[in-house]
Amino acid sequence: MSSFGGDVLDKLPITVDILNLTSKIAEYRGKQTLYERQIPQVLDTLRSHAIIQSTESSNRIEGITVSARRFESIMKEKSPPKDRSEAEIAGYRDVLRTVHDSHSYILIRANMIQQLHRDLMAYTGASRGGNWKSVDNVIEETLPSGDQRIRSVPTPAWKTPDAMESLCQKFDMSRDLGKLPDVILIAIFILDFLCIHPFSDGNGRMARLLTLLLLYQGGYTVGRYVSLEKIIEETKEQYYDTLYQSSQGWHNRKQNVLPWVEYFLTVILRAYRRFEERVGDVEHTHKRGWMSNAK
C-alpha cells in the first residue's frame, strides 16, 4: 500500500506542533543560507566532520562497528576493507559522498535507488546488492526477556518492484501538487520505504541516505554540516517507537503517519539548532586562533 494513495495525506492533521516545527525549520534554513554566503571557510570544517560522524553513526545504529584506527583508515581510503563490517562502512562512505556531491543530478526513481544500494553493498561481495529482495522478510525486535517478536511484516517480495515504482511516482506527483511542505512529504516517503523494506539487507542505512538526498533536493541542506544520522542514533528508541506506531495498519491504509512525521521534523529542527551552535563554536575557535597569530 502507500501513504500517498487514498486519503491518508488528506486526513493528515496539520497540528499546532507541526505548524511550529515547519515554521521554525524554515526560519533556520534562511539563517543557514546567510551563513553559507558569509562564512564558507567555517562551514568547511563542519562539512568534513559531518561526513565522518554520519558514516559512523548510521552503521553503529545497525550494530556495525570497527576500531577507531581502522575506521579512520577506511574513511581516508588508505586501505581496502578487511571484513564485512569494514565493507559496510566503505560502502556507506561512498554513497554518502555521492549524495553530498551529486544530489542535484539524482532522480528519485526505483532504478536509481537500486543503483545506490548496489554501491552501498559494493565491497561486501554480496550479489544481492542493487536487487530487490527475492524472499519475504519480517522486522523483528528483541524483548527485555531475550525473546524475539515480530514488529511488522513488510511488503511481500513479489509486490516490491511495483511498490517501489509506485512510491517514487506518487511522491513526485505529491511534490508537484505542493499541498504540503516538502519536508513532510519526505518524512512520508521514508516511512513508506521502510514499510516496503525493499532489500534483503541495508534498508535502514538506505533510508537514512535517501533522507539526506531528498532533503538536499528540497533545499534542506543542514545534513551537509550536521550529522542527521548522529541525531537519529541519539534518539534511536523514539525512532523505532514512532516508526512502529505509524506503520500499524499501513497495508490497509489505516496508518496514522503523525507520530513519525512529528519525530522526523523534530530531528531536522534539532539538526538546524545544532548547526547554529557549532557555527558559533567554530567561529569562536577561528577568531581565537587569528588573535593568537596576530600577537
Strand boundaries in 25-172, DSSP class E: 139-142, 148-152
> Which pLDDT value is given to residue 292?
45
Pick the closest to residue 243 from 274, 275, 211, 214 (CA basis). Answer: 211
Interatomic CA distance for residues 168 and 107, integer angstroms: 10
Q: What class, spelled out in words, does domain 16-56+158-289 have in CATH?
A: mainly alpha
Beta-carbon count within 10 A of 237 CB: 8
CB proximity list for 71: less than 8 A, separation 6 or greater: 56, 89
Those residues of the chain that have pLDDT short of 50 are 289-295
Contacts of 8-15 spanning 24+ positions with Cβ under 8 A: 8/253, 8/255, 8/257, 9/174, 9/179, 9/180, 9/188, 12/180, 12/184, 12/257, 12/258, 12/261, 13/258, 15/258, 15/262
DSSP 66: -
Q: Which residue has the cell 583508515?
A: 73
Phi and psi at 145, nearest 5°, equal: -75, -15
Interatomic CA distance for residues 60 and 251, integer angstroms: 30
Q: Tell me the pairing of strands 139-142 and 148-152.
A: antiparallel
**Domain spans in the chain, listed from the N-terminal domain onward:** 16-56+158-289
pLDDT tens-digit readout, 26-47:
999 988 888 777 777 778 888 8
